[in-house]
Amino acid sequence: MNLTKDLESKFKKLGISSWFELALNIPHSYEDLRLHNKVEMSKANLIDASIESVFRATNSIQITFYAFNLGFNVTGVLFRPKPYMMHQFKVGDRDYYYGLIDCKTGNCTMAMPKKVSSIGHITARYKCALRSDVMLRLVQNNLSLELLESEGLDSATAKEILNIHFPKETINLKEMSEDTINALKYLELFSYMKQLSDKRRYFKTLVSQKQTYIEWMDSLPFTLTQDQILAIKDIQNDFSKDIACRRMIVGDVGSGKTMVILASAYMMRKHRSILMAPTTILANQLYQEVLKFLPSLNSVLITNKSKKEDLSQYDFIIGTHALLYRELPKAALVMVDEQHRFGTAQRNKLEKLVSDGEKKPHFLQFSATPIPRTLAMIETSHIDVSLITSTPFKKDITSMVIRKNDFKDLLIHIKSEIKKDNQVLLVYPLVVKSEILDYQSIDEARSFWEKNFDNVYVTHGKDKEKEQVLLDFSNKGDMLIATTVVEVGISLPRLSTVIIVGAERLGLSTLHQLRGRVSRTGLKGYCYLYTNKEKSKRLEMFTSTISGFDIANLDLKYRKSGDLLKGTNQSGTQFKWIDLAEDFEIVKAVKSDLEF
């Protein structure tokens, strides 16, 4: 889009970068400069009037108009008039005057009348960084059906949007029609996704091939879910193209993303694959799965403790961020597990290390943080997305909100679970005491648990030994006291119970990740949300579902969705009209029309 310097300056002041964004800057009010023969009460009206008399008081001017279109007198009142106003109203003059009219006990008054020269139309008034008249001219001189259609918007939506700026009848902006609101929602998302797609870059791939996965899948001692197979098919299709793929595979906790990782490496056999995981524990777990289910691939695990060696002899290199500091051979496939745990710079560096000039490896990101279908569809405008919404086995987890008076029953439950050789996780909000927070910290609480229970392990985010503590707990522990450090990571097959202290302080997605630590192997699970709050609708709703995708939708309702384009997808949204929790059909329509 080529803009003149003047337009560029105006766009910059408005904080916009497209004609669509200009169209979304809708008026805050209208001036109806049409003559009517009846007064619209408590609204601004236009009168065709002659001035009968002018009376000047200390802080006001009182003018008697005879309104020809109404057939009676109207008293105009100017409060604290500016000097130039004194000369605008002369007895005997006939002109058009505009102002707010109110009629009481047979007398009509017009507050702050102003003389107007251009009549017969409805004029939009804007509240923005530009003066209202400058904004009006910008809109009038540029926004047109031809312009919006040339930018890719369909005719019906364009006409509905233009009607807001150039209405034939006054619009109540507080009670706009459903068609108008839907047009604004559509345009907002259309503009947003179009910009996202413009940011997407395509590169030639190092390797293009279509390999089957059926033989490997049939060799597994279990059956893959339909969602796992669909994700694998998506990736198989990606690998067959000569464009390097960028795909995010989003699956709930325990949905079986590991098998999709292994299938991807299997389909890329004869060429090298690299997988980066956020922790040594997770990298080791993935490596063990590779040894178990992909023995035909020559694999290696790289951590900070690994000795330096030539990695070009291996088919599959699994490691932590230690990979970023090694000399890596060229690879046809790069995968990042728990992608949100790495910064963009780290992910890009790994990709760059194994690229060959302009040619890039296929790139797969895996995330255990479910996102709503609406967000997934929006994401597809700059990265391909596969969702794994089902789990290989049904999780049986009882979730409950508890308070102080439930503590005795909680102790009974904990003792019962430990007796069954199951493990218990206690998550505290802080490591050390806080004057602000009305909950115990790990330091304050640990002595009680260590005194009353055996095999109690303690760790937190700043603990340099946390990975070893988690490993020791996994093998020998009964109870683990921690902060949200265990949100993602180690598999704990004997963990049956998680108790989250001060649960209302955490986001629903974090609560879901913590709950996902239990019942990983079909064990009966329990999740207790401890709170001092008397009521919490949000926590009660959380306990009613164990689907991460439903939780993500609840999260959308309770906190705004974030900005995918100009920042990260955190709280605080750039969307004014679209409701991502409710407007799935509009998102679907935009995606379809933009042909992603």
What CATH number did the domain enclosing 44 receive? 2.40.50.140
Measured in degrees and rounded to the nearest 5, phi and psi for residue 185 equal -60, -45
Give the pLDDT of residue 462. 77
Task: Tell me if the pTM is above 0.95.
Answer: no
Residues 323 and 416 in one domain: no
Domain end call among 359, 388, 417: 388
Note the pLDDT tens digit of each residue in 187-236: 999 998 888 877 777 889 989 988 899 999 999 999 999 999 999 999 99
Number of domains observed in the structure of the chain? 4
414 shares its domain with 540? yes
Looking at the structure, do residues 301 and 367 belong to the same domain, yes or no? Answer: yes
Residues 369 and 406 in one domain: no
Q: What is the pLDDT of residues 153-190, one digit of tens each?
A: 999 999 999 999 999 888 888 889 999 999 999 999 99
Q: Over the chain, what is the mean pLDDT?
A: 87
Within a domain: 278: yes
Which is nearest to 520 in space by CA: 490, 500, 540, 547? 490
- pLDDT at position 562: 43
pLDDT in tens, 265-315: 999 998 999 999 988 888 998 999 999 999 999 999 999 888 888 899 999
| Any domain includes 56 | yes
Whether 366 and 405 share a structural domain: no
Which domain covers residue 365, as residue numbers?
Answer: 244-260+270-388
Q: How confident is the model at residue 1 (pLDDT cuts 50, 70, 90)?
A: low
Residues with Cβ within 8 Å of 587's Cβ and at least 6 positions away in sequence, in order, are 189, 374, 377, 378, 578, 580
Question: Which range, 148-162, 390-404, 555-569, 582-596, is most confident?
Answer: 148-162
Whether 339 is in a domain gets the answer yes
Q: Which of 361, 388, 415 is the last residue in one of the domains?
A: 388
DSSP string, 74-107: EEEEEES--HHHHTT--TT-EEEEEEEEEEETTE
Residue 260: per-residue pLDDT: 96
Query: For residue 579, is it within any domain?
Result: no
483/344 same-domain check: no
Q: Is residue 126, in this structure, part of any structural domain at all?
A: yes
Whether 112 and 124 share a structural domain:
no
State the average pLDDT over residues 332-361. 80
Q: What is the pLDDT of residues 444-498, one digit of tens each?
A: 989 999 999 999 999 887 778 888 888 899 889 999 999 887 655 567 889 999 9
Is residue 233 situated within a structural domain?
no
Nearest residue to 498 via CA among 526, 531, 524, 470: 526
- Is 106 part of any domain? yes
Q: Please indicate, yes or no, whether residues 415 and 316 belong to a single structural domain of this protein.
A: no
Residues 72 and 152 in one domain: no
Q: State the pLDDT at residue 568.
A: 39
In contact, 157 and 131? CB cutoff 8 Å:
no
Residue 540's domain is classified under what CATH number? 3.40.50.300
Q: According to the model, what pLDDT value does residue 223 have? A: 93
Cα Rg for the chain, rounded, in angstroms? 33
Q: What is the pLDDT of residues 127-162, one digit of tens each?
A: 998 988 899 999 999 999 999 999 999 999 999 999
* pLDDT of amino acid 584: 82
Where among 525, 545, 565 does a domain terminate?
Answer: 545
Is 556 domain-assigned? no
Q: Taking Cα atoms as reference points, which of 338, 206, 321 lies closest to residue 272?
A: 206
Q: Is the dihedral of CA 533, 537, 542, 544 positive or negative?
A: positive
Pair 322, 460 in one domain: no
- Report the pLDDT value the prediction gives residue 559, as an integer from 0 to 100: 60
Whether residue 561 is predicted with pLDDT greater than 60 in this model: the reply is no
What is residue 572's predicted lDDT score, i.e. its pLDDT?
A: 35
Does 50 lie in the same domain as 23?
A: no
pLDDT of res. 340: 62
Instruction: Determine contact, residues 74/47, Cβ cutoff 8 Å.
Output: yes
409 and 375 within one domain = no
